[in-house]
């Protein structure tokens, strides 16, 4: 079953589904040749103007100088967890205390449903389900206008 057939099964219009996909950042996005890094920097700058604090959320694992294995980043308690849910690139807090996160992508990116993207979407959906502000971002205007 795909997303469209699920929506039709539950009586959700295709228009409503497309609106939802756009709002959470998996619908059609403006095309651009900007890198993920440049979009990330611009997002942090634009959100800072609104009083939003965003931090880079690096996720990975390594050994320290004593040979201890260390995992870092959100939702990375175990390898299995990291395979099923991937926390966003930028995490932070809005002036009203609301949690915010953005999974930053290059300007020409479009959601294709890879396992990696599905794991990223799982984190975004979790944040949204708890009242946070979350989504994919491959342009500054698109992400900042979501408010």
**Which tens digits make up the pLDDT trace of 82-98?**
999 999 999 999 999 99
Confirm whether 22 is domain-assigned: no
Other CB atoms within 10 A of residue 52 CB: 21
CATH of the domain at 127: 3.40.1350.10
The pLDDT value given to residue 30: 46
**Which tens digits make up the pLDDT trace of 25-50?**
665 544 457 788 888 988 998 899 89
Confirm whether 120 is domain-assigned: yes
Count of domains for the chain: 1
d(Cα 128, Cα 16) in Å, to the nearest integer? 17
Confirm whether 6 is domain-assigned: no
Yes or no: say if 136 and 25 are a contact pair by the CB < 8 Å rule.
Answer: yes
Per the structure, the complete domain to which residue 103 belongs is given by: 31-144
The pLDDT value given to residue 112: 87
**Which tens digits make up the pLDDT trace of 109-132?**
888 889 999 999 999 999 999 999
SS3 90: strand
Confirm whether 119 is domain-assigned: yes
136 backbone dihedrals φ, ψ, rounded to 5° = -80, 150
d(Cα 94, Cα 127) in Å, to the nearest integer? 14
Confirm whether 88 is domain-assigned: yes
Confirm whether 127 is domain-assigned: yes
Q: What is the mean pLDDT of the chain?
A: 85
Confirm whether 18 is domain-assigned: no
d(Cα 31, Cα 116) in Å, to the nearest integer? 21
């Amino acid at each position: 079953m795909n997303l469209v057939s699920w929506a039709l099964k539950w009586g959700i219009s295709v228009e409503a589904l497309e609106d939802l996909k756009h709002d959470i950042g998996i619908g059609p996005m403006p095309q651009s040749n900007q890198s993920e890094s440049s979009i990330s920097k611009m997002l942090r700058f634009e959100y800072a103007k609104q009083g939003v604090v965003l931090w880079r959320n690096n996720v990975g694992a390594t050994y320290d100088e004593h040979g201890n294995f260390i995992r870092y980043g959100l939702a990375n308690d175990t390898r299995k967890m990291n395979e099923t849910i991937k926390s966003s690139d930028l995490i932070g807090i809005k002036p009203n205390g609301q949690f915010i996160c953005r999974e930053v992508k290059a300007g020409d990116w479009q959601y294709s449903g890879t396992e990696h993207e599905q794991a990223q979407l799982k984190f975004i959906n979790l944040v949204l389900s708890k009242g946070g502000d979350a989504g994919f971002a491959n342009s500054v205007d698109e992400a900042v206008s979501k408010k």
